[in-house]
Amino acid sequence: MGLWRKISVNPWFVVLLLVYIFVGQGLRMALAFFVVTLHELTHAVIAESYGTTVERIEIWPFGGIARIAGMNHQEPYVEAMIAVVGPLQNFILASVAWLAAPWLPVEPRWIHEFIHFNLAIGLLNLVPVAPLDGGHLARLFWARKIGYEAAQQRVIQGGVWLARILFVITVLSFLTPRPLLSLGLFALFLHWGALHSDDTAPYLIVRDLNLRAGWFQKKPIWMLDDFAVHCDTPLKDVLKVMRPMKYHRVVILSPDMKKMGILYEEDLLQGLHDYGPGISLRELLTHR
């Protein structure tokens, strides 16, 4: 019951609802609102089961966002679970509605709409771009390949370009008898959401460094990842390319590529705590 009180409806959604009511599609829009709200509530319920705090659930035109505090302190698999349960819930509801359709005291048209909305929202959220659920999963996958910073930029740019493509399709659809206005509105939401995605990469990197000892107890064999880094490189640039579930060893090189020393993860974490992310590796090597 507490989560329902955390739902906030964006004013633009109210405007859109009034437009749909004016054109005779108010009930259809209300059903879409219900499906989107259930989707976000599922994220919230699972998030709170892992000990995080749901600050609020925002319902926007053609989408929703669950604002969850404490995600930066959770293990990556927790974020993956929270992301995937939304689409999974949509597919389960669509399946249940399809199986129970003959016995439900509801017009078949509305059952069909309910199934359609759940399948559409579930499949759409699996697209691997920000700010969709698939974007969270893709970021976790790519982080293991290219680091959190590059992975985050990849899914953000994916969301921006997908929004642009959808908007072009919307414009072209006005040449047909049935323009896709709803698609254009979703494209605007997607573009806004991608550009306003939280820059969590630095927090996730620091989280990994702080929590690695506990993860190492669960998985006692890790891949070793070596970096050769110019001595004047700031610590923050090294942190950006670090990857989850790998142990990093940084070889410090002078401008003429002579080895000056080696820093390990514990050295990087201690340097971050003592001197901040702007310290150069040459200085950190001296202070160690």
44-58 per-position pLDDT tens digit: 888 888 887 777 777
* Integer Cα distance of 167 and 216 in angstroms: 46
- Superfamily of domain covering 205-287: CBS-domain (3.10.580.10)
158-208 per-position pLDDT tens digit: 999 999 999 999 999 988 888 887 788 788 888 888 887 766 666 777 777
Q: Which of these ranges, 55-69, 79-93, 148-162, 273-287, has the smallest mean pLDDT?
A: 55-69
Q: Tokens in use for 36?
A: 């989107």
Q: Is the pLDDT of residue 217 over 90?
A: no
| pLDDT at site 52 | 77
87-116 per-position pLDDT tens digit: 999 999 999 999 998 888 888 888 999 999
Is the separation of the CB atoms in 159 and 184 below 8 Å?
no
66 strand-pairing partners: 57
| pLDDT at site 261 | 93
* Integer Cα distance of 243 and 276 in angstroms: 20
**pTM for this prediction:** 0.79
Q: Domain coordinates of the chain in residue numbers?
A: 4-198, 205-287
